[in-house]
Protein backbone atom coordinates (compact mmCIF):
# COMPACT_ATOMS: atom_id res chain seq x y z
CA UNK A 1 0.00 0.00 0.00
CA UNK A 2 2.83 2.34 0.95
CA UNK A 3 4.58 1.54 -2.31
CA UNK A 4 1.47 2.36 -4.35
CA UNK A 5 1.12 5.74 -2.66
CA UNK A 6 4.78 6.51 -3.27
CA UNK A 7 4.43 5.56 -6.95
CA UNK A 8 1.35 7.74 -7.27
CA UNK A 9 3.13 10.69 -5.66
CA UNK A 10 6.10 10.12 -7.94
CA UNK A 11 3.86 10.25 -11.01
CA UNK A 12 1.77 13.18 -9.73
CA UNK A 13 3.72 15.87 -11.64
CA UNK A 14 3.38 13.82 -14.84
CA UNK A 15 -0.37 13.32 -14.27
CA UNK A 16 -0.92 17.03 -13.55
CA UNK A 17 1.10 18.01 -16.61
CA UNK A 18 -0.71 15.59 -18.92
CA UNK A 19 -4.33 15.89 -17.75
CA UNK A 20 -4.03 19.49 -16.56
CA UNK A 21 -2.96 20.50 -20.04
CA UNK A 22 -5.86 18.58 -21.55
CA UNK A 23 -8.32 20.26 -19.20
CA UNK A 24 -6.88 23.69 -19.98
CA UNK A 25 -7.08 22.96 -23.72
CA UNK A 26 -10.67 21.73 -23.34
CA UNK A 27 -11.66 24.89 -21.45
CA UNK A 28 -9.88 27.05 -24.03
CA UNK A 29 -11.67 25.27 -26.89
CA UNK A 30 -15.01 25.63 -25.09
CA UNK A 31 -14.83 29.35 -24.26
CA UNK A 32 -13.07 30.44 -27.45
CA UNK A 33 -15.33 28.23 -29.53
CA UNK A 34 -18.43 29.61 -27.81
CA UNK A 35 -17.25 33.15 -28.56
CA UNK A 36 -16.56 32.25 -32.20
CA UNK A 37 -19.98 30.57 -32.52
CA UNK A 38 -21.71 33.66 -31.18
CA UNK A 39 -19.65 35.96 -33.42
CA UNK A 40 -20.37 33.89 -36.53
CA UNK A 41 -24.08 33.82 -35.72
CA UNK A 42 -24.10 37.61 -35.34
CA UNK A 43 -22.16 38.04 -38.60
CA UNK A 44 -24.68 35.81 -40.37
CA UNK A 45 -27.51 37.94 -38.97
CA UNK A 46 -25.86 41.15 -40.18
CA UNK A 47 -25.20 39.65 -43.61
CA UNK A 48 -28.81 38.54 -44.00
CA UNK A 49 -30.24 41.87 -42.88
CA UNK A 50 -27.81 43.72 -45.17
CA UNK A 51 -29.20 41.74 -48.10
CA UNK A 52 -32.75 42.74 -47.20
CA UNK A 53 -33.81 39.45 -45.63
CA UNK A 54 -36.74 39.86 -43.24
CA UNK A 55 -35.55 40.33 -39.65
CA UNK A 56 -37.76 37.51 -38.44
CA UNK A 57 -36.07 35.01 -40.76
CA UNK A 58 -32.61 36.45 -40.06
CA UNK A 59 -33.09 36.27 -36.29
CA UNK A 60 -34.36 32.69 -36.39
CA UNK A 61 -31.45 31.65 -38.65
CA UNK A 62 -28.99 33.30 -36.25
CA UNK A 63 -30.38 31.41 -33.25
CA UNK A 64 -30.43 28.09 -35.09
CA UNK A 65 -26.88 28.47 -36.41
CA UNK A 66 -25.60 29.41 -32.96
CA UNK A 67 -26.99 26.26 -31.34
CA UNK A 68 -25.59 24.07 -34.11
CA UNK A 69 -22.13 25.66 -33.77
CA UNK A 70 -22.28 25.50 -29.99
CA UNK A 71 -23.00 21.76 -30.15
CA UNK A 72 -19.92 21.30 -32.34
CA UNK A 73 -17.83 23.30 -29.85
CA UNK A 74 -18.94 21.08 -26.95
CA UNK A 75 -18.02 17.94 -28.92
CA UNK A 76 -14.61 19.43 -29.81
CA UNK A 77 -13.97 20.32 -26.16
CA UNK A 78 -14.81 16.79 -25.07
CA UNK A 79 -12.40 15.49 -27.72
CA UNK A 80 -9.59 17.44 -26.05
CA UNK A 81 -10.26 15.49 -22.87
CA UNK A 82 -9.58 12.25 -24.70
CA UNK A 83 -13.20 11.22 -25.03
CA UNK A 84 -13.93 9.35 -28.26
CA UNK A 85 -16.25 11.79 -29.99
CA UNK A 86 -17.46 9.24 -32.55
CA UNK A 87 -18.88 7.03 -29.85
CA UNK A 88 -19.99 10.13 -27.97
CA UNK A 89 -21.99 11.33 -31.00
CA UNK A 90 -23.58 7.88 -31.23
CA UNK A 91 -24.47 8.08 -27.55
CA UNK A 92 -25.90 11.56 -28.09
CA UNK A 93 -27.97 10.24 -30.97
CA UNK A 94 -29.34 7.36 -28.90
CA UNK A 95 -29.95 9.63 -25.93
CA UNK A 96 -31.50 12.22 -28.20
CA UNK A 97 -34.00 9.66 -29.45
CA UNK A 98 -34.97 8.74 -25.90
CA UNK A 99 -35.10 12.35 -24.79
CA UNK A 100 -37.09 13.20 -27.90
CA UNK A 101 -39.96 11.03 -26.74
CA UNK A 102 -39.80 12.62 -23.31
CA UNK A 103 -39.63 16.14 -24.72
CA UNK A 104 -42.30 15.96 -27.37
CA UNK A 105 -43.54 19.39 -26.32
CA UNK A 106 -40.13 20.95 -26.98
CA UNK A 107 -39.90 19.24 -30.36
CA UNK A 108 -43.39 20.51 -31.16
CA UNK A 109 -42.23 24.02 -30.26
CA UNK A 110 -39.22 23.64 -32.54
CA UNK A 111 -41.37 22.38 -35.43
CA UNK A 112 -43.83 25.22 -34.85
CA UNK A 113 -40.95 27.71 -34.90
CA UNK A 114 -39.90 26.39 -38.30
CA UNK A 115 -43.49 26.71 -39.56
CA UNK A 116 -43.68 30.29 -38.26
CA UNK A 117 -40.64 31.14 -40.36
CA UNK A 118 -41.87 29.31 -43.45
CA UNK A 119 -45.43 30.66 -43.49
CA UNK A 120 -44.66 33.99 -41.78
CA UNK A 121 -48.08 34.86 -40.32
CA UNK A 122 -46.35 37.79 -38.63
CA UNK A 123 -42.96 39.49 -38.43
CA UNK A 124 -41.00 41.42 -35.84
CA UNK A 125 -42.81 44.61 -34.88
CA UNK A 126 -46.33 43.37 -35.72
CA UNK A 127 -49.09 43.64 -33.15
CA UNK A 128 -50.77 40.24 -32.90
CA UNK A 129 -53.16 38.14 -30.85
CA UNK A 130 -51.73 34.64 -30.52
CA UNK A 131 -51.42 31.91 -27.91
CA UNK A 132 -54.13 33.47 -25.76
CA UNK A 133 -52.40 36.85 -25.41
CA UNK A 134 -51.62 39.97 -27.43
CA UNK A 135 -48.64 42.23 -27.99
CA UNK A 136 -45.93 43.43 -30.34
CA UNK A 137 -43.68 40.64 -31.65
CA UNK A 138 -40.23 41.27 -30.14
CA UNK A 139 -38.49 38.00 -30.98
CA UNK A 140 -39.09 34.60 -32.58
CA UNK A 141 -36.69 31.98 -31.25
CA UNK A 142 -36.43 28.25 -31.82
CA UNK A 143 -38.85 27.30 -29.05
CA UNK A 144 -40.82 30.43 -28.19
CA UNK A 145 -42.13 33.79 -29.35
CA UNK A 146 -41.64 36.92 -27.24
CA UNK A 147 -44.40 39.55 -27.16
CA UNK A 148 -44.30 43.04 -25.66
CA UNK A 149 -47.65 44.26 -24.34
CA UNK A 150 -48.77 47.90 -24.68
CA UNK A 151 -48.08 48.40 -20.94
CA UNK A 152 -44.50 47.11 -21.49
CA UNK A 153 -44.80 43.60 -20.10
CA UNK A 154 -42.84 40.76 -21.70
CA UNK A 155 -44.79 37.60 -22.49
CA UNK A 156 -43.02 34.44 -23.65
CA UNK A 157 -45.37 32.15 -25.58
CA UNK A 158 -44.43 28.65 -26.72
CA UNK A 159 -44.40 28.32 -30.51
CA UNK A 160 -46.75 25.34 -30.36
CA UNK A 161 -49.33 27.50 -28.55
CA UNK A 162 -48.97 30.17 -31.23
CA UNK A 163 -49.41 27.74 -34.12
CA UNK A 164 -52.06 25.70 -32.32
CA UNK A 165 -54.63 28.50 -32.21
CA UNK A 166 -55.92 31.44 -34.17
CA UNK A 167 -53.49 34.23 -35.03
CA UNK A 168 -54.87 37.74 -35.47
CA UNK A 169 -52.39 40.16 -37.03
CA UNK A 170 -53.41 43.81 -36.65
CA UNK A 171 -50.40 45.16 -38.54
CA UNK A 172 -50.66 43.33 -41.87
CA UNK A 173 -52.99 45.78 -43.61
CA UNK A 174 -52.34 49.49 -44.03
CA UNK A 175 -55.92 50.47 -43.18
CA UNK A 176 -58.31 49.41 -40.44
CA UNK A 177 -61.98 50.12 -39.88
CA UNK A 178 -63.10 51.77 -36.66
CA UNK A 179 -66.48 50.36 -35.57
CA UNK A 180 -68.46 52.29 -32.98
CA UNK A 181 -72.01 51.60 -31.81
CA UNK A 182 -73.81 54.85 -30.96
CA UNK A 183 -76.98 54.51 -28.90
CA UNK A 184 -79.53 57.36 -28.82
CA UNK A 185 -82.93 57.83 -27.23
CA UNK A 186 -86.09 56.72 -29.01
CA UNK A 187 -87.14 60.36 -28.81
CA UNK A 188 -84.07 61.53 -30.77
CA UNK A 189 -84.37 62.89 -34.30
CA UNK A 190 -82.60 60.31 -36.44
CA UNK A 191 -81.69 62.79 -39.17
CA UNK A 192 -80.14 65.09 -36.59
CA UNK A 193 -78.09 62.19 -35.19
CA UNK A 194 -76.92 61.28 -38.68
CA UNK A 195 -75.91 64.87 -39.44
CA UNK A 196 -73.90 65.14 -36.22
CA UNK A 197 -71.98 61.93 -36.97
CA UNK A 198 -71.26 63.08 -40.50
CA UNK A 199 -70.02 66.43 -39.14
CA UNK A 200 -67.67 64.57 -36.79
CA UNK A 201 -66.37 62.61 -39.77
CA UNK A 202 -65.78 65.71 -41.87
CA UNK A 203 -63.87 67.43 -39.04
CA UNK A 204 -61.32 64.62 -38.60
CA UNK A 205 -58.72 64.61 -41.40
CA UNK A 206 -57.38 61.22 -40.32
CA UNK A 207 -60.58 59.51 -41.50
CA UNK A 208 -60.21 58.11 -45.03
CA UNK A 209 -63.62 59.07 -46.40
CA UNK A 210 -62.69 57.76 -49.87
CA UNK A 211 -62.88 54.23 -48.46
CA UNK A 212 -66.45 54.76 -47.31
CA UNK A 213 -68.27 55.87 -44.18
CA UNK A 214 -71.21 54.02 -42.64
CA UNK A 215 -73.82 55.85 -40.58
CA UNK A 216 -76.92 53.70 -40.33
CA UNK A 217 -79.50 52.43 -37.86
CA UNK A 218 -78.29 48.98 -36.88
CA UNK A 219 -80.64 47.96 -34.07
CA UNK A 220 -83.79 48.92 -32.22
CA UNK A 221 -82.57 47.85 -28.80
CA UNK A 222 -84.43 47.69 -25.50
CA UNK A 223 -83.40 51.15 -24.29
CA UNK A 224 -81.93 52.85 -27.36
CA UNK A 225 -81.77 53.17 -31.11
CA UNK A 226 -78.29 51.97 -32.04
CA UNK A 227 -76.39 53.48 -34.95
CA UNK A 228 -73.53 51.68 -36.67
CA UNK A 229 -70.79 54.28 -37.14
CA UNK A 230 -67.89 52.91 -39.19
CA UNK A 231 -64.93 54.77 -40.68
CA UNK A 232 -61.60 53.78 -42.21
CA UNK A 233 -58.23 55.03 -40.94
CA UNK A 234 -54.57 54.18 -41.27
CA UNK A 235 -53.59 51.27 -39.03
CA UNK A 236 -51.31 53.42 -36.87
CA UNK A 237 -54.19 55.90 -36.32
CA UNK A 238 -56.72 53.30 -35.17
CA UNK A 239 -56.63 53.84 -31.39
CA UNK A 240 -56.15 57.63 -31.44
CA UNK A 241 -59.15 57.98 -33.78
CA UNK A 242 -61.21 55.48 -31.78
CA UNK A 243 -60.72 57.42 -28.53
CA UNK A 244 -61.21 60.82 -30.15
CA UNK A 245 -64.42 59.81 -31.92
CA UNK A 246 -65.99 58.56 -28.70
CA UNK A 247 -65.17 61.84 -26.99
CA UNK A 248 -66.41 63.95 -29.89
CA UNK A 249 -69.69 62.01 -30.05
CA UNK A 250 -70.38 62.72 -26.39
CA UNK A 251 -69.45 66.41 -26.67
CA UNK A 252 -71.43 67.10 -29.86
CA UNK A 253 -74.47 65.14 -28.72
CA UNK A 254 -74.53 67.08 -25.44
CA UNK A 255 -74.30 70.36 -27.36
CA UNK A 256 -77.02 69.28 -29.79
CA UNK A 257 -79.26 68.04 -26.95
CA UNK A 258 -79.25 64.45 -28.24
CA UNK A 259 -79.81 62.04 -25.40
CA UNK A 260 -77.52 59.03 -25.01
CA UNK A 261 -79.67 56.74 -22.84
CA UNK A 262 -78.55 54.28 -20.20
CA UNK A 263 -80.24 50.90 -19.72
CA UNK A 264 -83.57 51.37 -18.01
CA UNK A 265 -86.81 49.56 -17.35
CA UNK A 266 -90.30 50.93 -17.04
CA UNK A 267 -92.28 49.30 -14.22
CA UNK A 268 -96.08 49.63 -14.25
CA UNK A 269 -97.93 48.97 -10.99
CA UNK A 270 -101.52 47.79 -11.16
CA UNK A 271 -103.72 48.30 -8.16
CA UNK A 272 -105.86 45.28 -7.45
CA UNK A 273 -109.13 45.60 -5.55
User: Is the domain of 189 the same as that of 245?
Assistant: yes
Residue 41 lies in a domain: yes
Q: Is residue 262 part of a domain?
A: no
CA distance 237 to 217: 26
Q: Is residue 269 part of a domain?
A: no
Give the integer Cα–Cα distance in Å for 174 and 170: 9
pLDDT of 8 strictly over 60: no
Asked if residue 162 and residue 93 are part of one domain, the reply reads no
pLDDT at 241: 97
Q: How confident is the model at residue 211 (pLDDT cuts 50, 70, 90)?
A: very high
Residue pLDDT, tens place only, 234-250: 999 999 999 999 999 99
Residues 161 and 180 in one domain: no
Whether the CB-CB separation of 136 and 194 falls below 8 Å is answered with: no
Q: What integer best gives the mean pLDDT of the chain?
A: 84
Determine the longest span between alpha carbons in the chain, in angstroms.
Answer: 122
pLDDT for 29 equals 84
Q: Is residue 263 part of a domain?
A: no
Do 222 and 244 have their domain in common? Answer: yes
Structure confidence at residue 74 (pLDDT)? 83
Number of domains in the chain: 3
| Tens of pLDDT, residues 99-151 | 555 556 667 777 888 788 778 899 889 999 999 999 999 988 878 899 999 99
155 falls within a domain: yes
Does residue 111 form part of some domain?
no
Whether residues 74 and 23 share a domain: the answer is: yes
Do residues 194 and 231 touch, judged by C-beta distance below 8 A?
no
Do 143 and 109 touch, CB atoms closer than 8 A? yes
Residue 113 has what pLDDT? 80
Contact at 8 Å (CB) between 249 and 197? Answer: yes
Answer whether residue 96 is part of any domain: yes
CATH of the domain at 187: 3.30.70.100
- Looking at residue 1, its pLDDT comes to 55
117, 235, 119: which is closest to 172 by C-alpha?
Answer: 235
Same domain, 194 and 155: no
pLDDT in tens, 172-196: 999 999 999 999 999 999 999 999 9
Question: Given this model, what pLDDT does residue 105 score?
Answer: 63
CATH number of the domain residue 69 falls in:
1.10.287.1260
Q: In which domain, by residue range, is 220 found?
A: 175-255
pTM here is 0.61
CATH for 126: 2.30.30.60
Whether residue 112 lies inside any domain: the answer is no
The DSSP bridge partners found for residue 226 are 183, 219
- Select the more confidently predicted residue: 268 or 63: 63
Kindly state the average pLDDT of the residues 36-46.
Answer: 88
| Mean pLDDT calculated for residue range 203-230 | 95
Per the document, the length of the chain is 273
Amino acid sequence: MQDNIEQLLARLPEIITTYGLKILLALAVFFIGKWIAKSLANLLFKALTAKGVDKTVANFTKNLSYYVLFTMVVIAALGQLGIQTASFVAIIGAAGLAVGFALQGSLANFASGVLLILFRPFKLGDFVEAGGTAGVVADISIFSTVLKTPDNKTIIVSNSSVMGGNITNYSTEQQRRVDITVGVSYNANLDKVRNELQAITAADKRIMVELGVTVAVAELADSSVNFAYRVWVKTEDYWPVFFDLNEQIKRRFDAADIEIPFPQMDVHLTKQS
